[in-house]
Structure 1
């Protein structure tokens, strides 16, 4: 017996037990090696005209024998000499494929695509096999050679027989192992079953460029006997037939013009287990320093677990048509976690197991390009198929908003223009850019109101006050909405009509337009402001003056109401915005009432250390109720004034969709008044 070169025991143990995390990928590795062997012979025939190959004969065969517990992967590729067996299989981590690729780097071009480059894939066979026997006959030689090992200390190499060039890798599959301590055992019989092998081939090696063939059991109806009675029941028999298991040509490698929408839809539904066609399909090929193919799908609807912690995002990553990862999370940002699809690149650097990607610039470059293409497709849908986009946004808009919030606003430039919000004035969903285009002259703020019900928000006194002054209000009803706006801090509206600082500049610009010049535009930074804050500054000068006079005249009233309400409010003040409502609640500082409500539903609320908004009770000095308050103050009826203050405060909370602290006391106070 020959000893493995390098520190065999430690390194081989590492190959079998540490590098590979999933035993079933051994078949992928062996088929990839077989494909490389066929590729090498095919490439050699291109440079040596004396070698005549029938392309239809190039194939990989998989077979199994339950009685002997053997699994065989055969190819009719270039084969190996005794020296090559010693070199490639006797030295762990030596890669004949990598060496071949380096030797032919200048001449191979696109004619050959070597998959295995690390030399350890073969040893994954020992994860499932107690013994591995390799019978190989090099092309042009008359003698075959046999390499055999139990994967422990060493191996043997002897002369053998094989009818033609190529290699057989024969695995003696381990016996099943029972589970221990409640853990499931290992069912190695899966690798000796027709169904199990077909499933693995289609899962990992479906797009290997050569046919992977296997004898499969099929059923057919027996010929009806000539003397069969009228009530004859058909009989069936099983038979064996050689079948190509893999499809070979992946759909993403085909030209888009050669693939119909129905083909893409069928691939999407069958691959990603959806019953609806995708909303959008994006197929593209990148060339240059980094070459890859991508096929992306935007679903019609969100999967039920999209926003759960168990949901796994990612695109299927292939390298030279071989599946490396079913869900490569690094190829998608979290806010595009709904995208399904495939990326196939032979240039992505993998680690030696082909299971874990190295974090490198190639992967980042692909991810960046994928993100741009998804963004571009969404923009196209938004601008040219608004109905479809609104349906998409209803399903996936939450993730886009959270992408801005979770990045602390760093992704606002990429995502802000994809967001949709309900316009109180237009009664439809609009973008921030559309809001900006419809703004009044001189308006520098985007106004919004946040709550859980659109109809209730539209009826809020502060919203009506802003609308009455000719400004639109966006109605935000998702719990993440206001946090998103807080993270954005503002919005840059592009290509807005230029605002001129003086009349002379404005007149000069107008004259230039009359003479045929294009109107000047500029990017304008707009503030995002909640109408429930007390600093909107939308009142006219007369309204501001009236509010100031009422504040001075009735300062004692406000102090008394503040004392009655205690720490429920920061202060009581006069509103210059209210028209027909007697009072409203506004806030000071960054935390609004809606944000407080959202936080109160979170896990932090159980700890009892929740931040509170700084509430302000604003009164309408022109309302009849205000006169009642003044009368109670002037009469010195502090009990009535305190009761009125509590009623107005609780009433204002109800308008905001917040229950009073003591609903029973509120109901009793109403009854007392009645």
Structure 2
């Protein structure tokens, strides 16, 4: 018998502190978490047994909850895959997930520690640690299928844990024994545990038995998969409990999709669209969270193609009888059956989201704030569903000062307007103060203000919506005079305006590609637009952030020849002409979200102009 003593990883210690101290009034969930883990272990053993028959359980699988009222212990025993010493260290001693530290820091700073802790459980697979809400000590005895010998993991949930290798014969599976705290003795009551199992874990397909010294072993759950029932037989409470107990959610679902499809391909889906975005929504792997079952046998949660990555916020179950249980994972991923199921489910989700939008715009906008960025990935990368996603896309309207649909924008277009005008920016505040909008405001023409990094990509990639081209007002050329009957302002002589543009270009030299006079500005003296073949400004910033060596293209400076500041330039000394031209150029950069290209020179020019004028 060998014993190793180890400390918890720093993040694991933080998690234990949060879980133990912040969820006192919700301690019932510890049983749900441990039973869910036990069920997963049994399913994993069955799955691996498809290719390694020698590790399969020769008896019926079950989960046993044993209670000792006198000793105040609760023991959860499963016939699952089991753990070896390395597994124990990895799963019970470490939270090895990118972004954990920053997430924990934000939780520690949260004013509502209870809700913060709820968000924690399930985020990183830390449900096991909920045991310490009710236990002063936890002892895990486990033997991994296919291996000899067992290991005992023991901890009080404080400094660390011990792992002891034992050679005596142990059955394959895992036992988690909880030595209850003095304030948690109520859980040593068999009747209480039966109620909790019925409430939280009735849907688990593995039979869950309860037993004590005075009560014979009896089954406490119905062991019927919720998705196999008819939707009319399932209550809202049952759907909610399945969502939380099996899928690790702590909000209420925005949409529940429970359908059985029969025909050339038979499958059942039970999908949930959440209201709140999970922490790992934007992790680079973009993993989906829909579990694939074949005839109620769990296969995997990582099968590519079950659902598009731009719907990865959807959680739930897909169960089909149209695939062979013994088929390899690679064949499953490339199966025409999976492709057809995915197509059907994707259309169903998009259809439900469209119904939600029509029924309750305000509620849908709340959903969009959480998941709109992810759905926009589909606009960029999924040609098949691009138009359907565009129908439920929301964009901020300059005219209405709120989110609207693309269809609403089309309905309100001016008589001669044939383009969808948009402006990309880092923030909504920056977009609203942009000089690019002045001409549109003056003519009451709406502009969509796009502030997500992906907007510049998908709008360029998609090109048009319902045959109306997208036009970036900071990159593309346009003439607003065509959209109104107003007579252009001819107060400024054409020769004079051309000479002002040439003068400013001479002062700025190679800093800009060109200087041109524009009638699109009303209050501002200048603005920057993309040069010939140039990219959208926001797109350039994103590319620069990814590659510091990316320089981008030179911009064209457009000037408002009627602005009093611009009209003063010809009357200034050559040095002040250059100083004012540089200040106007830098001002245009600042309004587009950039820093002055030469802050020191910018400061000197401001002082010189202020002193002279």
Asked if TM exceeds 0.5, the reply is yes
Aligned to 2:172: 191
Q: Count matched residues.
A: 459
Q: 1:461 aligns with which of 416, 420, 435?
A: 435
Contact 2:418 2:468 in 1 (8 A): yes
Contact 1:398 1:480 in 2 (8 A): yes
1:285 aligns with 2:221: no
Measured against aligned partners, the alpha-carbon deviations of 1:366-386 in whole angstroms (never above 9, x if no partner) come to 111110110011101111021
Q: Classify the secondary structure of the residue corresponding to 1:618.
A: strand
Q: 1:369 aligns with which of 344, 366, 370?
A: 344
CA distance in 2, matches of 1:358, 1:652: 51
Structure with the bigger RCO (C-alpha within 8 Å, sep 6+) is 2
Contact 1:349 1:358 in 2 (8 A): no
CA distance in 2, matches of 1:472, 1:653: 24
Larger Rg: 1
CA distance in 2, matches of 1:354, 1:570: 55
CA distance in 2, matches of 1:272, 1:301: 14
CA distance in 2, matches of 1:312, 1:190: 35
Aligned to 1:643: 579
Structure 2 gap segments, 5+ residues each:
1-40, 65-77, 81-142, 153-162, 178-197
Give the C-alpha shift of residue 242 in structure 1. 2.1
Q: Return the TM-score normalized by structure 1.
A: 0.61
CA distance in 1, matches of 2:509, 2:309: 45
Aligned CA distance change for structure 1 residues 191 and 289 (closer, same or farther; 3 Å): same
Aligned to 2:520: 577
1:484 aligns with 2:458: yes
Give the C-alpha shift of residue 128 in structure 1. 2.8
Q: Classify the secondary structure of the residue corresponding to 1:654.
A: helix
Aligned to 2:270: 295
Contact 1:592 1:613 in 2 (8 A): no
Contact 1:59 1:213 in 2 (8 A): no
CA distance in 2, matches of 1:406, 1:611: 26
Aligned to 1:140: none
Q: 2:595 aligns with which of 641, 648, 659?
A: 659
CA distance in 2, matches of 1:575, 1:543: 15
CA distance in 2, matches of 1:358, 1:483: 29
Measured against aligned partners, the alpha-carbon deviations of 1:64-87 in whole angstroms (never above 9, x if no partner) come to xxxxxxx999xxxxxxxxxxxxxx
CA distance in 2, matches of 1:358, 1:349: 13
CA distance in 2, matches of 1:555, 1:72: 85
Give the C-alpha shift of residue 362 in structure 1. 0.8
Aligned to 1:422: 396
Give the C-alpha shift of residue 545 in structure 1. 8.2
RMSD: 4.0
Map 1:256-405; keep pairs closer than 5 Å: 256-309=231-284, 312-352=287-327, 357=332, 359-405=334-380
CA distance in 2, matches of 1:354, 1:579: 62
CA distance in 1, matches of 2:262, 2:353: 24
Contact 1:272 1:340 in 2 (8 A): yes
Aligned to 1:25: 44
Q: Classify the secondary structure of the residue corresponding to 2:217.
A: strand
Q: Classify the secondary structure of the residue corresponding to 1:529.
A: strand
Aligned CA distance change for structure 1 residues 544 and 611 (closer, same or farther; 3 Å): farther
Measured against aligned partners, the alpha-carbon deviations of 1:511-535 in whole angstroms (never above 9, x if no partner) come to xxxxxxxxxxxxxx11111122362
Aligned to 1:628: 568
